[in-house]
Amino acid sequence: MTYLSISTALLLLGSLLSAPSNAYDLVRRQKAANATYKDSSASVDVRVADLLSRMTIQEKTAQLIQGDISNWINVTTNVFNSSGLEWNFKARAGQFYVGYAMPPEWISAGIKRAQDYLVHNTTLGIPAITQTEGIHGVLYGNATIFNSPIAHACSWDPELIYEMAVATAKESQAMGINQLFAPVMDLARELRFGRVEETYGEDHFLSGEMGYQYVKGVQSLNVSATVKHFAGFSAPEQGLNTGPVHGGERELRTTWLPAFKRAIIDADAWAIMGAYHSYDGIPSVADDHLQETILRKEWGYKYFVTSDAGATDRLCCAFKLCRCKTANTPVDKEAITLMTLPNGNDVEMGGGSYNYEMIPQLVEEGKIDISVVDRAVSRQLRAKFKMGLFENPYLGLPANATKSVVHTKEHVQLARKIDAESIVLLENKNSTLPLPKSAKVAVIGPMANVSNFGDYVVYRSQYNPTNVTPLLGIQSATNATVTYAKGCESWSNDQSGFPDAVAAAKAADFAVVVVGTWSRDQNELWQGLNATTGEHVDVASLNLVGAMGPLVQAIIETGKPTIVVYSSGKPITEPWISENAAALVQQFYPGEQGGNGLADVLFGNVNPSGKLSVSFPYDVGTLPTYYDYLNSGRSTDPGAILPNGTLQFGHQYVLNTPQPLYEFGYGLSYANFTYSNVTLSKTEVSASDTITATVSVTNSSPVDGKEVVQVYVQDVYASIVVPNIELKGFKKVEIKAGETVDVSVELEVGKWGLWNKKMDELQNLSQFRTEITQTKRVILIKALKTGSDELLGFIYFKYNKDGDCVGGLRIANFNATLPISSLGTGASSKASDPGQTGQHGEGMKLSTLVFRRNNYNYRIESGCFKWNFIFKKWEFHCGLRRMGDKTLDKLRLKEQGKP
């Protein structure tokens, strides 16, 4: 989001609209004195309707436009401007932005002044929503800065994110801030994109769990979340920020929307922010299918959607759907308003042309129905009532009281904990880590003595004196000698610092080299200073920039055990470092305690338990490498350039591999964990079931540690092409040295559905037979779908008293949709078999299998048999007995034994 100076352009307009002080409507104000909307015991809907009925079109319009604290406070001097205040709330009364780099007490006083004015000096006394950024701590000076969301997700610990959200909300409240522009539910599926660091990684399930807890956490203190960016924004063409996104409805629903739905609907978020992109040719800000049909009609969402900063103007100026501003003509504000408000964008953020000022005129001219305006205002007012704003318009504390709430010892401690829990150990050869506390350590690299924050932090916060850099963290974790050499600048090819760094490494027992990517604070980022990640900073390569790679090489070549730390906002592709470094540690953009968190892990005070939230490719040219690729993807016949320079030719790829270097969910520990006794509470399941996967995890090492049990589901035969596997549950557990813990992960079968050819979600009809296995370090549940709306029939098998299959009986009910709920193992009944004509007796079992019209390749798994066959005409066999009367093309039968 960009906040350009907007006030100057509006001075003219402002003076036209501004009115004398206390110019409220005395009559309406008196009438409202005891109005229903002020009655906290009335229902929210009744209060909304009552208030709406009292509002003029001007007042309604003002609710739908974002204001800005800079309209009444000079953000560099704190000089108050009372006409600016009046003007702002005449024209832009619904919500206002406060995220400026100014002393927090100015923000607090500016908000207080505004809420007092609204409550006491306006006709209806509607308090405002007060907004800033908050993806990793609330954005104002000296609030606690947590690590970036991409790191949060590596903790695989949603409860920790809840704690962080509560801490963030307390620090927001203290200033009177009641809304945060977070969480980000976009997914890191295009790694060239600059905003990877703002996401919770590549997977919608993990992201959804993190986002859910964030929303629950902040809203538990009546600070509204704003789930963003709705939706499908983060895989732009060429990885370029705000670029078009290609995809269809199925991909939207399968990949992009589930995390949003979890944070928006399940967690009951009170606001949503739209996005900048177009999806399949439709700008999201004007997409009624997304913002109305799906969000409102299907999901039943009741609160409001705001545009992102400047996003509405993009309809004319980026997407070319209307006339942009020229030297002689203004932007086509009417066109923009008509394309957005009726299509589900309720509130217009600043940073653009304030097109929604057109609303009264457009209503007057009959171009927008007042019901559309009322709908938008109601959605926003509903949020305000729900937040308790009318009862508590100002949550802030007096300036002398904020110290006990903001940047407290507890919050700083929490930041350190999340940092340590988020670190991922990628390589640890010869058990180089943890470092002995007596070791002499050389700390090297351009990221070694900086606070390498991700974007969305306040101006110059990287210089806060309380920040802990890696060097400071390492220094305070050991009493042995710690030396430091920068080696090079991140942004330069200059190697003149190498000799000092090499000398430092040679004089030490271990070298810790911190290299990576870098972002900028919210001001520097938009001033255009150099950076390699962050909003509007996209890359064509994921390699280390400048002299950083050669620096790592020079240090490794000293022969000293070299621990490389990637301090970055996205994966780095230097496979040779993985090969050659003694250890490799991934620290996604840290918070203010990042150095302590890192030292905790390096010295073994914390056993690393982070797992990657995003897959690491070998090279940018192999993207995408997310784990949940669709079936038929990722053919692999790899080639390589060997370390000695030999070219080894493959085909996928010629000199590389499409497989990831490190997979989603990967991460090492100082402990060893082994899995056994993998079981599932139920194997015949349907959509209404919650089932439990259980595994015994043994820590066979002498150190305590935490393990993340990850459960993936594979839809074995689907009617459409689905992801090869999907994460559906996980749990992080602490296991003491030598102990075994039974870990249970709950799974909601209703979330295993797919979007079929008719774009119906099958979850209500799905029934699965499941098998559980453990592959490598994950639990895989194979789900064989046994029911769908494309069910064509089913087969009965007869068993003798020894349980041998002795033959099938019949195929029932082709082309009928049957009541799946009555299916299951065991004797069939008349009720589930309306068309039965064959035998039906004791010892007969219904086998769970399904045929789907649209597939060509079938496999039937029953208690008796596994059959692979291909057919063009319908015919079915049980055993070798022919059952139907149509011809099979091919039948391959494979006996699997008794049920």
Ligand X SMILES: *[C@@H]1O[C@H](CO)[C@@H](O)[C@H](O)[C@H]1NC(C)=O
Write out the residues near ligand X by the rule CB under 6 A: 7, 21-22, 30, 33-34, 74, 76-77, 82, 103-104, 117, 120-121, 141-142, 398, 400-401, 429-430, 437, 464-465, 477-479, 491, 529-530, 561, 582
Minimum distance from CB of 55 to ligand X (Å)?
19
What span, in angstroms and rounded, lies between the C-alpha atoms of 315 and 317?
A: 6
Minimum distance from CB of 135 to ligand X (Å)?
19
Minimum distance from CB of 89 to ligand X (Å)?
10
Minimum distance from CB of 600 to ligand X (Å)?
11
Report in angstroms the alpha-carbon separations of 483 from 440, 503, 510, 561. Answer: 8, 10, 11, 15
Sheet holding 740-748, edge to edge: 673-680, 690-699, 740-748
What value does the CA radius of gyration of the chain take, rounded to a whole number of Å? 30
Are the C-beta atoms of residues 327 and 286 closer than 8 Å to each other?
no
Report in angstroms the alpha-carbon separations of 375 from 37, 60, 369, 371, 725. Answer: 17, 10, 10, 6, 41
Comparison of 120 and 898: residue with beta carbon closer to ligand X: 120
- Give DSSP secondary structure letters for 727-767: EEEEEEEEE-TT-EEEEEEEEEGGGG--B-TT--BGGGT-E
Q: Which two tokens stand for residue 786?
A: 């046994």
Which residue is nearest to ligand X, using beta carbons?
141
CA trace torsion 165, 166, 170, 173 (10° rounding):
70
Backbone φ and ψ for 699, nearest 5 degrees, come out as -95, 100
Comparison of 79 and 540: residue with beta carbon closer to ligand X: 79
Are the C-beta atoms of residues 462 and 453 closer than 8 Å to each other?
yes
User: β-strands 129-133, 179-181: how paired?
Assistant: parallel
Minimum distance from CB of 417 to ligand X (Å)?
18
Comparison of 444 and 693: residue with beta carbon closer to ligand X: 444
Within 10 angstroms of residue 817's Cβ, the number of other Cβ atoms is 13
Comparison of 375 and 416: residue with beta carbon closer to ligand X: 416
Comparison of 401 and 654: residue with beta carbon closer to ligand X: 401
Minimum distance from CB of 530 to ligand X (Å)?
4
Comparison of 431 and 815: residue with beta carbon closer to ligand X: 431
What span, in angstroms and rounded, lies between the C-alpha atoms of 289 and 273?
A: 16
Backbone φ and ψ for 739, nearest 5 degrees, come out as -100, 160
Comparison of 524 and 663: residue with beta carbon closer to ligand X: 524
Comparison of 7 and 659: residue with beta carbon closer to ligand X: 7
Cis-peptide, bond into residue 501, ω within 30° of zero: no
Q: Which two tokens stand for residue 120?
A: 């006491």
What span, in angstroms and rounded, lies between the C-alpha atoms of 222 and 129?
A: 11
Nearest to 470 by CA among 504, 419, 424, 426: 419
Minimum distance from CB of 442 to ligand X (Å)?
16
Comparison of 398 and 436: residue with beta carbon closer to ligand X: 398
Minimum distance from CB of 317 to ligand X (Å)?
25
As a whole number of angstroms, the longest Cα–Cα distance in the chain is: 94
What span, in angstroms and rounded, lies between the C-alpha atoms of 826 and 797?
A: 11
Minimum distance from CB of 802 to ligand X (Å)?
58
Minimum distance from CB of 452 to ligand X (Å)?
12
Comparison of 478 and 519: residue with beta carbon closer to ligand X: 478
